[in-house]
Amino acid sequence: MPYKVQIEGSPPIEVDDQMLKNTDFATIDDKHFHAIIDGLGYRIKLLKVNRKDKEMVLSINDEKCHIKLEDDLDQLLNSMGFSKRIKRRIDKIESPMPGLVLEVDLHPGQTVQQGDKLIILEAMKMENIIKSPVDGTIQEVLIKPGENIMKGQLLIRFENE
């Protein structure tokens, strides 16, 4: 989906806590802009937009630049020591259902990424893959293949970071 960016007039711009003065922007098309800042001209091309994280990647005079956008709410939350995204702290995985452990693809000390396959559990004649909910390091594996487990049974512990 194309992103449309419109910069009108001379908006106030703050870079690294310093307010830029004497700015003027012109929109060429949806992805190309021209800026004059303190008498110097800049060619700007929009390369990528991540709306969820409020980040953009621009090419400014053919040099790649990562931009983090903050609005008043972001600045207020940061000043209060909060983040809109709170890192999930998950230190264990419990069985979501009773079943038979078919496969365990991990060992203590192993690092895993969110979404990695950890366990295959058979329940009601179906194979269910249990994936890692977080990036982390395995502290303890409390089950083994062939073992029958109960719903809510502790399967894996992650190291606390």
Domain 92-158 - what CATH class? mainly beta
Nearest CA to 101 out of 124, 125, 126, 119 is that of 119
Give the H/E segment covering residue 131: strand 126-131
Kindly state the percentage of the chain with pLDDT values over 90: 32
Q: Please state whether beta strands 117-123 and 99-104 pair in parallel, antiparallel, or not at all (unpaired).
A: antiparallel
Indicate if the pLDDT at residue 5 is higher than 90.
no
Nearest alpha carbon to residue 67 among 77, 59, 78 = 59
What ranges do the domains of the chain cover? Answer: 13-79, 92-158
- Out of 8-12, 60-64, 148-152, least confident range: 8-12
Average pLDDT over residues 143-147: 95
From the number of C-beta atoms within 10 Å of its C-beta (0-12, 13-18, 19+), residue 72 rates as: exposed
Whether residue 2 has pLDDT greater than 70: no
Radius of gyration of the chain measured on its C-alpha atoms: 25
Confidence check: pLDDT of 138 > 90:
yes
Residue 8 has pLDDT above 70, yes or no: no
What would the pLDDT profile of 68-114 be if each residue is shown by its tens digit?
777 777 777 777 766 555 555 788 999 999 999 999 989 999 998 88
Phi-psi region of 102 (alpha: psi -120 to 50; beta: other; left: phi over 0): alpha
pLDDT of residue 68: 78
Considering the chain, what is the average pLDDT of its residues? 81
pLDDT value at residue 94? 93
Contacts of 51 (CB under 8 A, 6+ apart): none
Pick from 4-8, 66-70, 91-95, 149-153: least confident: 4-8
| Predicted pLDDT at 51 | 77
